[in-house]
Amino acid sequence: MSDPGTQEQEQEHGQSVTARISTEVVRTLKESFGKGPVKAKSYLLDDFLLVVMRGGVTIAEETMLQRGHGDMVRQFRQTYQNEMGDVLVAKVEALTGRTVVNYQSQILFDPHIVMEIFFFDAAGAVAESEFEL
C-alpha cells in the first residue's frame, strides 16, 4: 500500500502542465478576488499561453452589467488584473520553466469569459511552420 502523500504527488505530476496552469490561475483568482471562474482551460501554443475561464462574475458586477455599466466592470477588472499580473506571471513561469515577456488580460460579457494571455521568450519553442521574412 502506498503512502497518501506519495499518491498526491503522483496525481499532481500526472496532470498536464496546462491542467496545472488552469488550476493554479483559478485558485489564485479565487483567493484574491473572493470568487473565481467555474471552468478553465489552458492552451499552450508555441510562444504563448492562453487561459480561458468562464463564469466567476460577482453579484455586484452582475448588477452593474444589468444596469448598463459594463464599461465600469471592465475598467475595474482591468485594474485588478494589472495588479495581479506579476503574481500570475510568476506562477506561469514556475509551472512552465519559461520566461514570460508580456501578459494581457481581457473580460468578455455574454457569456462571461476571462482570457489571460502570456507571451514567452522565443527560446522555449520554435514552430515547424515558423519562418523569418
Summarised one tens digit per residue, pLDDT across range 52-64 is 999 988 899 999 9
Q: For the chain, how many structural domains are there in total? A: 1
Alpha helices in the chain (DSSP H): 4-14, 17-33, 59-66, 70-96
Q: Chain-centre distance of CA 14, in angstroms?
A: 20
Residue reference for cell 495588479: 83
Percent of the chain with pLDDT over 70: 81
* 36 pLDDT tier (thresholds 50, 70, 90): confident
The answer as to whether 126 is a domain residue is no
Domain assignment present for residue 1? The answer is: no
User: Does the pLDDT value for residue 117 go beyond 90?
Assistant: yes
Read off the pLDDT of each residue in 116-127 and give the average, rounded to a whole number: 78
Q: What is the mean pLDDT of residues 20-28?
A: 95
Q: Is the pLDDT of residue 40 over 60?
A: yes
33-51: average pLDDT: 93
Over 50: is that where the pLDDT of 67 sits?
yes
For the chain, what is the mean pLDDT? Answer: 85
Q: Identify the pLDDT of residue 123.
A: 67
User: Could you tell me if residue 43 is inside a domain?
Assistant: yes
pLDDT > 80? residue 7: no
Structural domain boundaries, residue 36: 16-121
Does the residue 97 lie in any domain?
Answer: yes
Per-residue cell: 22:
488552469
Residue 111, in any domain of the structure: yes
* Neighbour count for residue 43 (Cβ, 10 Å): 12
Domain-located, residue 132: no
